[in-house]
Amino acid sequence: MQKNIVNQKPDPIKVIGRASECMRRLMEAGLNFDDFQLPITNKVARKRIVKAWKSAIYESTKSQKIARAIMGGNYFGIEENMIHFKIKPTKKQLNTLSEVRYSADILEACKDTHLLIATFPMSISDIYSRVDKNTLDVLCNINDVSNEQGYKVIREKCTIRWNLIKKEFVSGSFRKREEDQLELLSEDEKVPRSNLVVYVVIGNYLETKKCLFEYKAGNCSDEDDGGNRMRVEGKCTNIFGKHQILDITSFSSCSSIYDGPGLGLFSCKK
C-alpha cells in the first residue's frame, strides 16, 4: 500500500509521478486537459472539489439537502464528519442519519442561532485523538481525571443522531445559580452533555475557523465523581501557531460563579 505523502516533504519525483497518474486516471474517466484549469483559477470550484474528494463523494439524502439549504453555514453533516474527524460511517450509521429529525419549520426558526450537527459515537478522548495537535490544542483539566469517573467522562461516547445546539449561552443565564439557570429553558430545550459541546466547538472550528463561546464558560448536564457539573470554556488563543479553543473541567464551587462573569448555560433542542 502506498503511503500518504500529504503533510510530509515528499520526493519531487514521487509528486510528479502521482500527479501524472491522477491526471491520467481522471482523463480516462472523462475529463479533458482544459478541465484541469478550473481548480487553478476558480477558488469556489477548488473548495467544492476538495470537499467532495475528502468525503468520498458521499451523496446527501433529500432530508439532508433540505436541512443544509436552510441552515447554510450552520450545518455540520456527514461529509464534514468524514473530512474533519476522518469518520468512515457504516451503512447502519448512514441509515440512522438519513432523515434529519427536526422539521423544516424548526430549522427555519433556528437557522441563525443554532448549529445542526450530526454526531457519531465518539468521546472527548476520541475527538481529541483525531485533531491535528500541531495546530489545535484542547485543554482537558477534569478534576480527579485519574479516577474511574474522570475517565468515564472523557470516554463517554456521543449518541449517533442529529442535534441542534445553540451557538450562544442561554440568555440571562450568567450570574445565576444552577436551579435558576434551568428555569430559563423552554419546554423543548435541555442542557447538553460535555461531549456534545466539545464535538460542536471543535467541529465548528475545523469547518469555519471560528470559535464558539469565546472566553466564556458554561455548565453541561453531566457530572464528575464528586457530583460537580462539567464545565466547558471557550477560548480563542494562538500560541506559537497552535490554536487553543477549549478548556474542559469540572466545577466544584457554586459560590464562585459570582466571581467575574460566572458560568452561563449551554442548551440544545430535545
Per residue of the chain (270 residues), give pLDDT as tens. Answer: 334 434 456 788 888 888 888 888 888 877 788 888 888 888 887 877 776 666 566 788 999 999 999 999 999 999 999 989 999 999 999 999 999 999 999 999 999 999 999 999 999 889 888 887 766 665 555 444 445 555 677 889 999 999 999 999 999 999 888 889 999 999 999 999 999 999 999 999 889 888 898 888 898 998 766 677 788 888 777 665 556 667 777 654 443 443 445 789 999 999
Cα separation, 127 vs 206, in Å, equals: 12
Number of DSSP helices (H) and strands (E) in the chain, helices first: 11, 10
Q: List phi, psi (to 5°) of 232.
A: -120, 130
Q: How far apart are CA 228 and CA 181, in angstroms?
A: 15
Domain with 237 in it: 65-269
Residue 53 lies in a domain: no
CA-based R_g, the chain, Å = 21
Query: How many domains does the structure of the chain reveal?
Result: 1
Cβ-based burial of 170 (10 A; exposed 0-12, middle 13-18, buried ≥19): buried
Please report the pLDDT score of residue 57 as a whole number. Answer: 63
pLDDT at 137: 62
Q: Say which amino acid occupies 170.
A: V
> Contact 216/169 with Cβ under 8 angstroms?
yes
Residue 71 domain-assigned (yes or no): yes
CA 204 – CA 30 distance, rounded (Å): 35
Question: Residue 214 to residues 174, 184, 219, 238, 260: CA-CA distances in angstroms?
Answer: 14, 21, 15, 13, 15
Identify whether the C-beta of residue 93 lies closer than 8 Å to the C-beta of residue 137: no
Helix locations, 111-215, DSSP H: 124-129, 148-155, 178-182, 194-208
Does 7 map to a domain? no
What are the Cα distances from residue 13, in Å, to 2, 16, 20, 185?
A: 15, 5, 11, 60
Biggest CA–CA distance in the chain, Å, is 68
Name 265's bridge partners.
219
At residue 141, the pLDDT reads 52
* Domain annotation covers residue 15: no
Q: Is the residue at 39 inside a domain?
A: no
Contact 88, 48 (CB under 8 A): no
Helix (H) / strand (E) element for 93: namely helix 91-96
Residue with cell 497518474: 21
Instruction: Specify the DSSP element, H or E, that contains 65.
Output: helix 62-71
Indicate whether 228 belongs to any domain. yes
The reply to whether 60 falls in a domain is: no
Helix (H, G, I), strand (E, B) or coil at 23: helix
Q: Is 104 inside a domain boundary?
A: yes
